[in-house]
Amino acid sequence: MDYETPQFFRVMQYAARAERDVVDMVSGSPDWEPPETLREGLREYADREADAFAYPPSIGLTPLREGIAERRGVDRSRVLVTNGAGEANHLAMTEAIDRGSGREILLTDPVYPYYAGRANLLDAPTHYLPVDHDGQLDPAVVREAASDETAVIVVNSPNNPTGAVYPAETLAELAAIAEKHDAVLVSDEVYDHFDYTGAFESALAHDSDHVVVTNAFSKSMAVTGLRVGYAVFPPEDGPMSDLLDAARTRHMLSVVAGSHPAQFAVLRALQETPPDYYEDNRALLRERIRTFTDALDAAGADYTTPGGSFYVMARFEGFPGTMANVQRLVDEAGVAGMPGEAFGESRADWFRFALVTPRVEEATNRLATFFE
């Protein structure tokens, strides 16, 4: 399979060139407002003394690392601030392979395409593990696939694209499998604020030396463009402390540091945004999911109600989610989704719709008309 990340861009370009109005259900960028406190943080930064425009510490602003550590219940020394969750995952995967305990990568199918792209970049043998209809990963499948050749297992819960929220026991078992094979479990929790099941629990709960948790403020604060994320590495005094050292070095040599104004603004928002902000966005998404899945029911589609994140995968009988059909939906229905093949072989028949548009209802009407 060719995990060409630009598939996102190809669909978006196609939609932009369409002669009709198109509802964008492709991109994963939240459409709602960032916290007002974040805007205030940027304004405050703009007025700071000249020395505030200098390099932040390579590992991130100290109070930001402190704020993250406090919320995650870990020691600050374990937190590396990165250029979004993207860099956090990149560093975690790269160092997990570079440490030399195996070279193999375990990913799920369907998969978030960037993980697959990074596996290609690292030129590492990669196995794709099937998930069930609801997107759940059976630990027995992982146990069967894992060996001492396994360097890293990458999971994402709440999941893009399936919307699955893994139970705590799944993550505990995955951590145990990583430990058994001296591998690393990378748990990407970037959608942790978008859990509608109440069951989400961070992989950090398992207190394993073989777990790296990655995250970002991109989705929770609706600021994918700021590029502020982080990774929580195993403790500095534990057997896997080399991972953090190596990641810090690679981060310094590849990007030097993250952007100072972005970190400053996120810190302000982290400290001062009321819980309502996050709750309101969750409520908004619940409502959109309900609206959209009702329409899918009406259209007789097969779909999964997401337990988390803000994507819905669906398939329509006689209308598989190929790129050609994605283009037909753009031209004939005025709705742009992603072809399932972008996420792996197992969901090649499916579409993925991102519910981060204020026009979910409009999209449902258009789809209902198209499929009626």
Closest CA to 354 of 321, 326, 308, 312: 312
Query: Is residue 372 at the binding interface for a second copy, with CB under 8 A as the rule?
Result: no
Give every CB contact of residue 257 below 8 A, 6+ residues apart in sequence.
Answer: 55, 56, 57, 58, 60
Q: Read off the amino acid at residue 233.
A: F
Q: Does 369 bind a second copy (CB under 8 A)?
A: no
* 284 is a contact residue toward a second copy (CB under 8 A): no
Phi-psi region of 110 (alpha: psi -120 to 50; beta: other; left: phi over 0): beta
Judged by CB, which is closer to a second copy: 69, or 255?
255
> Is there binding between residue 47 and a second copy (CB under 8 A)?
yes
* 87-106: contacts with a second copy (CB under 8 A): 87, 90
Taking contact as CB under 8 A, which single stretch among the options 101-109, 117-125, 174-182, 321-329 is the one that binds a second copy?
117-125
In this structure, are residues 277 and 77 in contact, taking their beta carbons and an 8 Å threshold?
no
* Residues 222/33, Cβ–Cβ less than 8 Å: yes
**Measured from the CB atom, is 250 or 315 closer to a second copy?**
250
Is residue 86 involved in binding a second copy (CB under 8 A)? yes
Contact status: 319 vs a second copy (CB under 8 A): no
Nearer to a second copy, 259 or 365 (CB): 259
Binding mask 121-160 for a second copy (x = CB under 8 A): x---------------------------------------
| 39 lines the binding site for a second copy (CB under 8 A) | yes
Rounded Cα distance between 264 and 258, Å, is 11
Between β-strands 150-156 and 184-188, what pairing exists: parallel, antiparallel or unpaired? parallel
Query: Contacts with a second copy: how many residues (CB under 8 A)?
Result: 50
Q: Is 223 in the site for a second copy (CB under 8 A)?
A: yes
Angle between helix 36-46 and helix 260-272 axes, rounded to 10 deg: 140
DSSP designation for 235? P
Chosen residue from 65, 78, 127, 227 binding a second copy by CB under 8 A: 227
From candidates 152, 178, 257, 269, binder to a second copy by CB under 8 A: 257
Supply φ then ψ for residue 353, to 5 degrees: -115, 130
Of 173 and 189, the one with the shorter C-beta distance to a second copy is 189
Task: Verify binding: residue 76, a second copy, rule CB under 8 A.
Answer: no
Report, in Å, the least distance between residue 12 CB and a second copy: 11
State which H helix or E strand residue 314 sits in. strand 311-315
The answer for residues whose C-beta is within 8 angstroms of residue 107's C-beta and 6 or more apart is: 115, 116, 119, 126, 127, 128, 129, 154
> Residue from 45, 278, 319, 370 that binds a second copy (CB under 8 A)?
45
Cβ atoms 343, 113 nearer than 8 A: yes
CB of 42 to a second copy, least distance (A): 4
Distance CA 31, CA 223 (A): 10
**Whether the Cβ atoms of residue 81 and residue 230 lie closer than 8 Å to each other:** yes
Residues that bind a second copy (CB under 8 A): 5, 27, 29, 31-34, 39-40, 42-43, 45-47, 50-56, 83-84, 86-87, 90, 114, 117-118, 121, 222-227, 249-250, 252-262, 265
